Amino acid sequence: MPQTKQKKLEARVEPTYMKRIHFLKQRVLDTQPEMDLENARLLTKGFREAEGEPLVMRKARAFRNQCCEKTIKIWDEELIVGCSGSKIRAGILCADSCWSVLDKELDTISSRKYDPFNLKPEDRFAFEEEIRPYWKGRSNYEEWLAQIPDETRVLRDNGVVYIDRKAVRGWGETTAGYEWLIKEGLEGIILSIKERKSKLDLTKPGDFEKDYYLKSLLIAADGIARNAERYAEEADKLAAAEDNPRRKKELIEIAEVCRRVPMKPARTFREALQSLYFYQTMIFMEQNAASYNPGRMDQYLWPFYKADIDAGRITPEQAQELLDCLWIKFSEPCLFQDAQTAEFAAGYPMFQNVCAGGVDEAGKDAVNDLSYMILQATMDVQLYQPSLSVRYSVSKNPNSFLRKVVELIRLGTGFPAFHNDDIGIAMLMNKGVPLREAYNWNPCGCVETNLEGRMRQYTALADINLGSMVEFTLLNGINRKSGLIISERTGEPKEFTSFDQFLQAVKSQIAYATRAVIAGSHVIDEIGLNRPVPALSLTFRDCIENAKDYAWGGAKYNVGNGIILIGVADLINSITAVKYLVYDQKLVPMEQLIEALDHDFCGYEEIRKLCLEAPKYGNDDPYADEIAGEIFTYIADEIERYESKFGKMTPGILPVSGNTPFGLEVGALPSGRKAWQPLADGVSPSGGTDLNGPSAVIKSVAHIPHGRFVQGTLLNMKVEPAMLKTENGITQLMALLKSLCSLGVFHVQFNVIDQETLINAQREPEKYKGLLVRVAGYTAYFVELGKDVQDEIIGRTVQHGISTG
């Protein structure tokens, strides 16, 4: 089954297990997401009952209360079971951290533009009658609104920074210690807690706090165990009532598995998967948040899979079916976030990042049969979760693995996120992790970096709008949209006598925004101390050893929060255009450029043309790329200068969809971009400006010092299906990916330009102005081609030949 040998492109005969997978998948697709307030209600009840106890004890008791009283459901045809709430596809509310988010959206949540959730009357009733009255004035979000520093607030309110994300949901952005739980079971973890607890001396200052903290862990563990038992009971009940002998047998097996894990060590591949998923639902229930990352499943599940295969307990097909079933489960839950945050990251983005490939803890090739099966699961299921990543080690991983990656890219789902292993390792080391452990890094959320069961941070605490940095520089600290002076006065640009002065002003603006974000980050760190997570902390060995919660810095490695830069290409292209037009070529005086921008280029078409023709990032042009290198080295230096109580602050470049809302806050830019348009995404070139093909894009992107942006860098590339139609094309994409790694670029993901896109572009050319395609030896804007040539290109998305260029 796992294709360890190279296989030619041919239609794959669909295995019989896919019948179940199609059924489960269809159910996910057919179910509209709802709000599910059952567990917020149960949490509230639990907090009430534990009043008077320390916060973490109350959280643990309330958590156990949720486990003991929540609705338990096993849906038809499932093999892997579990759910954080009572509904199959729902958003849950983290009442203790951010109840008030829903309060503002009670009337709109069912119909809002991004990520609507259907709110049923009974849920609304529970919210208004039980949840709101108890939590009013007590949530972390309200603390944040009360404490946000003034200058941070002003920048936030003007769309220069986005920093509410962590106040409107829970932790997430972490990789729990799944491996420890699966291998030793809760019973092993409980044993460690008890041992640690037995060493305490309650007459010693500090040990009392440790004692009740460890007690809270035991309560959380008990809750997790109780949840699984209740699934076993439910499976028994369903089995007794089931007439279909096949399903009856399956339900009996489910009961057996749930009776075993996660309490006891998993013995089989199936038990390992179930143990993992139970825990996944539990930590998500504990705090609604994106990016609880299962991480390197091909590594920690491998011993279970291999033992099953060796003992003849399972066939590869059966294992694939189980893995596919788990993949469906990953797609069921929906992240609940406020309307604004949803705009920055739309699509109910759970970001449960699963990873395959890379090297092992000795730095050797770690690819195994499961690595291929994990890719196959995404090929089988083709849903939006899990967020599938690969770590690709150019020197160690085999070509057959890379080929399987390209076969998945061909499907056009946008998966996998391709990560350069060497840079991932470097990033972890730059976070302060020694090489031996850095070898075990895993992608987190979008493209951030993490380390299983050992690392604490907010990987993407706040976003900085780099378009605004250019605007502030040109307007001497004034925000164009509001007309207010809200940033540093860096001088009137027309008085700058050299490019260096201009660049220095840009840097000062970036420094100012960075300071405002750091100040806000410190406030959030303090507030975060009031959101302990005993269920999550259970699988962090150091949280037990230190008797200190994840939220309090109990993990082995504590890292300063991530600061994310958005509008990379806009910043580079704008600085480049100013250098080129104003200072080097002297084609446009600064006053005129500013005047043109003031008018959004209306009546200044000639200046706009010059702006658009200035060198652009993404074309392997040293003129622009050297500026990229300089400014992003500066930004990394600047962010790393700051420490939080948890560690050095960390930069990253990963807009999920934040480049669009940020663009709405930024007027025309010297890059030639018109006002209020989306900014460029990630480290990608601005749409339609990369005219020299993929190698040139990669060369430009390589000028950013990726290893220093330790919360990852994100590159989106478009690929035409024609490239992936043939064996030759697949081989060349593999070579392209290897070259990308050799050049030190961290990440790439591919969007395949499908036939539908081209047909739409033909119909509505205005919307697809930047769409580039290859025509007989050159790159052209699709919408500028004649209809006959367009038709021919549309045709080649299904039929392909060597062009006679």
Binding-site ranges for other proteins (CB under 8 A): 605-606, 609, 620, 692-696, 699, 723, 726-729, 731-732, 735-736, 738-739, 742-743, 775-779, 784-786, 788-789, 792-793, 799-805
Query: Considering all CA atoms of the chain, what is the largest pairwise distance in Å, rounded to the nearest integer?
Result: 86
- Least Å distance, CB 285 to other proteins, is 46
- Least Å distance, CB 521 to other proteins, is 38
The 3-class secondary structure across 409-463, one letter per residue, is HHCCCCCCEEEEHHHHHHHHHHCCCCHHHHCCCEEECCCEEECCCCEECCCCCEE
- Cβ-count burial 599-608 (b if 16+ within 10 Å, e if not): eebeebeebb
DSSP string covering 283-304, please?
HHHHS--S-B--B-HHHHSHHH
Nearer to other proteins, 108 or 779 (CB): 779
- Least Å distance, CB 755 to other proteins, is 16
Nearer to other proteins, 231 or 746 (CB): 746
Nearer to other proteins, 113 or 609 (CB): 609
Nearer to other proteins, 160 or 752 (CB): 752
Nearer to other proteins, 111 or 779 (CB): 779
Nearer to other proteins, 112 or 800 (CB): 800
DSSP state of 765: G
- Least Å distance, CB 584 to other proteins, is 18
Strand partners, 748: 418
Cα 89 to Cα 112: distance, rounded to the nearest angstrom: 17
- Three-class DSSP category at 15: coil
Nearer to other proteins, 74 or 614 (CB): 614
Instruction: Determine the angle formed by the axes of helices 316-331 and 369-381, rounding to 10 degrees.
Output: 50
- Least Å distance, CB 791 to other proteins, is 9
Output the CA torsion sign for 41, 44, 46, 49: negative
- Least Å distance, CB 471 to other proteins, is 25
**Which tokens in the block code for residue 433?**
């992790």
- Least Å distance, CB 766 to other proteins, is 14
Cα 689 to Cα 59: distance, rounded to the nearest angstrom: 52
Residue with token string 């399903």: 247
- Least Å distance, CB 663 to other proteins, is 24
**Which tokens in the block code for residue 121?**
């009357």
User: Does 446 participate in catalysis according to the annotation?
Assistant: yes
Residue with token string 């420490």: 643
Nearer to other proteins, 643 or 764 (CB): 764
User: Does 173 participate in catalysis according to the annotation?
Assistant: no
Strand partners, 90: 34
- Three-class DSSP category at 785: coil
- Cβ-count burial 203-225 (b if 16+ within 10 Å, e if not): eeeeeeebbebbbbbbbbbbbbb
**Which tokens in the block code for residue 797?**
């998305």
- Least Å distance, CB 720 to other proteins, is 11
Instruction: Determine the angle formed by the axes of helices 399-410 and 727-742, rounding to 10 degrees.
Output: 110
Residue with token string 């533009």: 113
Nearer to other proteins, 365 or 492 (CB): 365
Cα 636 to Cα 409: distance, rounded to the nearest angstrom: 31
Q: Pick the catalytic residue from 34, 143, 184, 448.
A: 448
Q: How far is CA 270 from CA 262, 349, 356, 385, in A?
A: 12, 26, 19, 20
Cα 591 to Cα 605: distance, rounded to the nearest angstrom: 16
- Least Å distance, CB 795 to other proteins, is 9
Contact between 102 and 130 (Cβ < 8 Å)? no
Q: Pick the catalytic residue from 258, 325, 444, 446.
A: 446
Q: Which residues are catalytic, by number?
A: 446, 448
